[in-house]
């Protein structure tokens, strides 16, 4: 749960508007400058993970009946099982 909360915290903030990250490439003699908010925006796409988990949990492959059938057959009804069942 702590990891999910940290993923949700990653987003661009207004007070980071003017802060830049600069990197020098000596091979091509160039300087590349990134805004910190742009980097955070790219990292904030990791929130799709939360949506994917929600879709798996509300699917019919994660309900109590599916879990009971899986226990009877000796397997676990976890997220990977739901992904494989949806793909099949």
SS3 of 16, please?
helix
Provide the domain limits for residue 34. 2-87
3-state secondary structure 39-58: HHHHHHHHHHHHHHHHHHHH
| Residue 49 confidence (pLDDT) | 81
| Residue 51 confidence (pLDDT) | 84
| Residue 30 confidence (pLDDT) | 92
CA distance 14 to 18: 9
> Are the beta carbons of 41 and 34 closer than 8 angstroms?
no
If one counts the domains in the chain, the total is: 1
| Residue 61 confidence (pLDDT) | 87
| Residue 72 confidence (pLDDT) | 92
pLDDT per residue rounded down to tens, the chain (88 residues): 787 777 777 777 788 788 888 889 888 889 989 888 888 888 888 788 888 888 888 888 888 898 899 899 998 888 888 888 889 8
Angstrom CA distances, 11 to 17, 20, 34, 39, stand at 12, 16, 16, 9
């Amino acid at each position: 749960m702590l990891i999910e909360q940290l993923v949700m915290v990653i987003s661009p903030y207004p007070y980071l508007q003017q802060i830049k990250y600069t990197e020098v490439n000596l091979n091509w003699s160039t300087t590349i400058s990134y805004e910190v908010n742009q980097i955070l925006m790219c990292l904030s796409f990791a929130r799709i993970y939360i949506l994917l988990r929600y879709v798996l949990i509300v699917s019919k492959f994660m309900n109590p009946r599916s879990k009971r059938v899986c226990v009877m057959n000796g397997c676990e009804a976890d997220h990977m099982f739901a992904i494989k069942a949806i793909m099949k």
